[in-house]
Chains A and B, each alone.
Chain A
Amino acid sequence: MKVLCGIGGSDDSFRALDRTVERAAVANDDLTVAVVDNDDSAVTPAGVMERAREAIDDAGIDADVRRVEGDPGSRLVEIAEREEFEKIVLGGGHTSPMGKITLGPIAEFVLLNAKTSVTLVR
Chain B
Amino acid sequence: MSDRRYPETVADGFPVPPTEFTDREDRTVEIRPYEGTEGAYESLVAMYDAFDPADRAQGIPPGGEKRIREWLDAILEDDCYNVIAWCGDEVAGHATLVPDGDAYELAIFVHQEYQRAGIGTHLIRGLLGYGQAEGARKVWLTVERWNRAAVSLYKKIGFETSNAESFELEMGLRLNEEEGEEGEEDAT
Which residues of A are at the interface with B, using a C-beta cutoff of 8 A?
95-103, 105, 108
Contact = CB atoms under 8 A, between A and B. Distances in A.
Interface residues of chain A: helix, strand, loop or mixed (majority): loop
Nearest to A40: B1
Interface of B: 57-60, 62, 71, 74-75, 96, 98-100, 105-107, 142, 165-168
Nearest to B67: A99
A96 B100 contact: yes
Contacts, number: 41
A97 B105 contact: yes
A95 B71 CA distance: 12
Given A102-B166, A103-B167, A108-B166, A97 B58 contact: no
Given A96-B105, A96-B142, A108-B167, A101 B59 contact: yes
A99 B80 CA distance: 13
Contact of A99 (B60, B99, B165, B166): B60
8 contacts: A97-B99, A98-B98, A98-B105, A99-B71, A100-B105, A105-B165, A108-B166, A108-B167
B55 to A, nearest CB: 14
B168 A102 contact: yes
A103 B165 CA distance: 12
